[in-house]
Amino acid sequence: MAAKIIRDMQPLMPMAKGHSLRLTAAAAAELGRQAAVAGTPGMMHLDLVDGRCERWAIRLRPGHLAGTPIARADGITLYAPAEQLILLSRLNLDYRGDIRGGGFLVRPGEGMVSCACGTAFSHSGGGRQATQ
Protein backbone atom coordinates (compact mmCIF):
# COMPACT_ATOMS: atom_id res chain seq x y z
CA MET A 1 0.00 0.00 0.00
CA ALA A 2 2.80 2.44 0.89
CA ALA A 3 4.49 1.83 -2.50
CA LYS A 4 1.24 2.68 -4.29
CA ILE A 5 0.89 5.94 -2.33
CA ILE A 6 4.49 6.94 -3.10
CA ARG A 7 4.06 6.07 -6.79
CA ASP A 8 0.83 8.11 -6.95
CA MET A 9 2.61 11.12 -5.40
CA GLN A 10 5.37 11.22 -8.03
CA PRO A 11 5.10 14.21 -10.39
CA LEU A 12 3.75 13.64 -13.88
CA MET A 13 6.32 13.13 -16.61
CA PRO A 14 6.85 16.20 -18.81
CA MET A 15 5.05 16.39 -22.13
CA ALA A 16 6.94 15.39 -25.24
CA LYS A 17 8.77 18.46 -26.52
CA GLY A 18 7.52 19.90 -29.79
CA HIS A 19 4.40 17.77 -29.74
CA SER A 20 1.17 19.55 -30.53
CA LEU A 21 -1.75 17.11 -30.36
CA ARG A 22 -4.66 19.14 -29.04
CA LEU A 23 -7.80 18.04 -27.21
CA THR A 24 -11.02 19.97 -27.49
CA ALA A 25 -13.01 20.53 -24.30
CA ALA A 26 -15.58 17.98 -25.50
CA ALA A 27 -12.86 15.35 -26.14
CA ALA A 28 -11.24 15.97 -22.74
CA ALA A 29 -14.61 15.62 -21.00
CA GLU A 30 -15.42 12.33 -22.74
CA LEU A 31 -11.90 10.95 -22.16
CA GLY A 32 -12.26 11.85 -18.49
CA ARG A 33 -15.64 10.14 -18.29
CA GLN A 34 -14.34 6.96 -19.96
CA ALA A 35 -11.23 6.87 -17.75
CA ALA A 36 -13.33 7.22 -14.58
CA VAL A 37 -15.76 4.48 -15.65
CA ALA A 38 -12.81 2.16 -16.40
CA GLY A 39 -11.23 2.78 -12.98
CA THR A 40 -8.25 4.78 -14.27
CA PRO A 41 -9.33 8.35 -13.51
CA GLY A 42 -7.32 10.96 -15.38
CA MET A 43 -5.45 8.51 -17.63
CA MET A 44 -6.18 7.41 -21.20
CA HIS A 45 -3.98 5.89 -23.88
CA LEU A 46 -4.08 6.59 -27.63
CA ASP A 47 -2.31 4.57 -30.27
CA LEU A 48 -2.54 4.35 -34.03
CA VAL A 49 -3.81 1.33 -35.94
CA ASP A 50 -4.33 0.77 -39.67
CA GLY A 51 -7.27 2.81 -40.92
CA ARG A 52 -9.76 1.75 -43.55
CA CYS A 53 -10.24 4.88 -45.64
CA GLU A 54 -6.98 6.66 -44.69
CA ARG A 55 -3.63 5.35 -43.42
CA TRP A 56 -4.13 5.72 -39.64
CA ALA A 57 -7.04 5.43 -37.22
CA ILE A 58 -6.88 6.16 -33.51
CA ARG A 59 -7.56 3.61 -30.80
CA LEU A 60 -8.34 4.88 -27.30
CA ARG A 61 -8.05 2.74 -24.20
CA PRO A 62 -8.18 3.54 -20.48
CA GLY A 63 -4.98 3.68 -18.44
CA HIS A 64 -1.34 4.58 -18.94
CA LEU A 65 -0.14 1.50 -20.90
CA ALA A 66 3.54 2.55 -20.79
CA GLY A 67 3.21 5.51 -23.13
CA THR A 68 4.53 9.06 -23.17
CA PRO A 69 2.19 11.86 -22.07
CA ILE A 70 1.16 13.78 -25.20
CA ALA A 71 -1.74 16.00 -24.09
CA ARG A 72 -3.29 17.25 -20.87
CA ALA A 73 -6.61 19.04 -20.50
CA ASP A 74 -9.30 19.34 -17.84
CA GLY A 75 -7.85 16.67 -15.54
CA ILE A 76 -7.06 14.06 -18.19
CA THR A 77 -3.61 13.01 -19.41
CA LEU A 78 -3.47 11.28 -22.77
CA TYR A 79 -0.54 8.90 -23.37
CA ALA A 80 0.78 7.43 -26.64
CA PRO A 81 3.67 5.20 -27.76
CA ALA A 82 6.85 7.26 -28.19
CA GLU A 83 7.43 5.91 -31.70
CA GLN A 84 4.06 7.35 -32.85
CA LEU A 85 4.58 10.91 -31.56
CA ILE A 86 5.64 12.34 -34.94
CA LEU A 87 2.50 10.94 -36.61
CA LEU A 88 0.27 12.54 -33.96
CA SER A 89 1.66 16.06 -34.22
CA ARG A 90 -0.67 18.73 -35.61
CA LEU A 91 -3.78 16.64 -34.87
CA ASN A 92 -6.83 17.85 -32.99
CA LEU A 93 -8.97 15.29 -31.20
CA ASP A 94 -12.63 16.25 -30.87
CA TYR A 95 -15.75 14.50 -29.61
CA ARG A 96 -19.26 14.85 -30.94
CA GLY A 97 -22.30 13.26 -29.38
CA ASP A 98 -26.05 13.42 -29.61
CA ILE A 99 -29.09 11.37 -28.62
CA ARG A 100 -28.02 8.55 -30.98
CA GLY A 101 -24.52 8.22 -29.57
CA GLY A 102 -21.17 9.83 -30.12
CA GLY A 103 -17.61 9.39 -31.22
CA PHE A 104 -14.15 10.89 -31.38
CA LEU A 105 -13.19 12.79 -34.51
CA VAL A 106 -9.74 13.53 -35.89
CA ARG A 107 -9.29 17.08 -37.11
CA PRO A 108 -6.12 17.13 -39.23
CA GLY A 109 -3.66 19.99 -39.25
CA GLU A 110 -1.63 21.41 -42.11
CA GLY A 111 -0.23 18.75 -44.45
CA MET A 112 -2.77 16.15 -43.39
CA VAL A 113 -6.09 14.81 -44.64
CA SER A 114 -8.88 12.95 -42.90
CA CYS A 115 -11.54 10.67 -44.30
CA ALA A 116 -15.15 11.81 -44.63
CA CYS A 117 -16.17 9.99 -41.45
CA GLY A 118 -13.48 11.81 -39.45
CA THR A 119 -12.00 8.76 -37.75
CA ALA A 120 -8.88 8.19 -39.87
CA PHE A 121 -6.13 10.41 -41.26
CA SER A 122 -3.04 10.44 -43.44
CA HIS A 123 -0.23 12.83 -44.03
CA SER A 124 -0.76 14.46 -47.44
CA GLY A 125 0.10 12.00 -50.19
CA GLY A 126 0.07 9.05 -47.78
CA GLY A 127 -3.56 7.91 -47.97
CA ARG A 128 -4.97 4.58 -49.06
CA GLN A 129 -5.28 4.05 -52.77
CA ALA A 130 -8.71 3.08 -54.06
CA THR A 131 -8.83 -0.39 -55.53
CA GLN A 132 -11.31 -1.69 -58.03
Domain locations in the chain as residue ranges: 19-123
User: In whole angstroms, what is the distance from residue 20 CA to residue 72 CA?
Assistant: 11
Burial environment of residue 78 by CB neighbours within 10 A (0 to 12, 13 to 18, 19 or more): buried
Residue 125 confidence (pLDDT): 58
Give the tens place of pLDDT for each residue, 38-91.
999 999 999 999 988 899 999 999 988 778 999 999 999 999 999 999 899 889
How many CA atoms are closer than 13 Å to the CA of 68, on its beta-carbon side?
14
Residue 1 confidence (pLDDT): 41
Give the tens place of pLDDT for each residue, 8-49.
333 344 454 555 689 999 999 999 999 999 999 999 999 999
Say if residue 127's pLDDT is above 70.
no
pTM of the shown model:
0.77
Q: Once rounded to an integer, what is the mean pLDDT over residues 120-127?
A: 74
* Domain 19-123: top CATH class: mainly beta
